[in-house]
Amino acid sequence: MKLLFLACLSPKTGNCTTAKRIRAHIESAGHKCELRDVADFKSSAEVASLVKQKPPFEGAIAIHLYKAGRLLLDIQVPFGVVFGGTDINEDVKVEQKRAVMEQVLLQARFAVAFTHKLKEEAEVYLVSPSNKIYIQPQGVQTQVATSFRWCEFLKSSGVSGEDMGETRVFLLVCGLRRVKDPLYLLKAFSDWHTENPLVVLIIIGPKIDPLFTKEVEAITKRSAGVYLAQERSQEELHAAIRKSFALVNSSLSEGMSAAILEAMDLEVPVVARDIPGNRALVQHEVNGLLYSSPQEFVSMSKRLLEDRELRDGLVKNGKHYVRKHHSLDHERKAYQKLVDSLH
């Protein structure tokens, strides 16, 4: 079966990683799956024309009902969709976008939500048959670059000093855009670094919003103990996560944070902002820590530094959680079964 797969493919983002992983699942079942960036198309008519080319596409799939799904409304082949966090956290608030998303759901053979919460909210905000929405958490696959050099990474990020080996790095992994709110913790963390110079915050991720990136660059330069690292390959990023003291999330909203799941798989504690998307993954003081303010983040992080038993427990439970609920093999079988429904 020849399938068209539409997604937002900004390099080294969670969307891009998820799309490539799902494509691999589909192709491992013998299908041909062509992954295309939604930015390549200006209208649904362009996609409809592409689908008809010879040999024609026999089905389609899209990640994000509004950003990508709207481009499938004019095609004459069956399609399925995958909810993105922005769909429910942001786009349903706009009446015009909500109407388009409802039309996408009406025409889709199936829709995938990463969590029960996401499905529940979709059923509240969008008119759709609930039996179309399947729950399938993201699968986790981590691969650490063997050539990665931690000290070189710290130096290239701007961290220096004789005590580099004792430095405790809190790594904030996010694309530089406002919804990820990377500036949320800067003042509180900077004050903490002044008190304890061995703790540093490194922000790393692709520069998605150019204007906001300039703001982040300017503010981090004048924030003690806070650094902005150049984005790395997936394998190098996983190596940096594994070497860090903790993985930090400060997002205003999340669908399902791949970085949180990857940190758990790499046996690194997670300190995440208390928002619905993160609560779906992190059980406070069981497999991670949830904070509601910058001051609470610092307080919890200090405790994590001092309490080895707490740290070990979070790491152990995080690894167990990922293995139990985010199996790559289970995700593969689920998507292969859903794609079969497009025949």
**φ, ψ for residue 101 (rounded to 5)?**
-65, -40
Q: State which fold the 150-325 domain adopts.
A: Rossmann fold (3.40.50)
Rounded Cα–Cα distance for residues 118 and 121 (Å) = 5
Q: Can 2-139+327-340 and 150-325 be said to share one CATH topology? A: yes
Neighbours of 135 (CB within 10 A): 14
Q: State which fold the 2-139+327-340 domain adopts.
A: Rossmann fold (3.40.50)
Burial class (CB in 10 A: 0-12, 13-18, 19+), 230: exposed
* Tokens 């949830």, located at residue: 290
Cis omega (within 30 of 0) on the bond before 197?
no
Closest by CA position to 331, among listed 11, 24, 12, 8: 24
Closest by CA position to 229, among listed 152, 157, 174: 157
Per-residue pLDDT of the chain (343 residues; tens, 9 = 90+): 999 999 998 776 778 889 999 999 999 999 999 999 999 999 999 999 999 999 999 999 999 999 999 999 999 999 999 998 888 888 888 999 999 999 999 999 999 999 888 898 888 888 776 689 999 999 998 999 999 999 999 999 999 876 677 899 999 999 999 999 999 999 999 999 999 999 999 999 999 899 999 999 999 999 999 999 999 999 999 999 999 999 999 999 888 899 999 999 999 999 999 998 899 999 999 999 999 999 999 999 999 999 999 999 999 999 999 999 999 999 999 999 999 999 8
What are the residue ranges spanned by the domains of the chain? 2-139+327-340, 150-325
Question: pTM of this prediction?
Answer: 0.88
Q: Which residues contact 166 (CB under 8 A, 6 or more apart)?
A: 198
- Here the tokens at position 332 are 């593969």
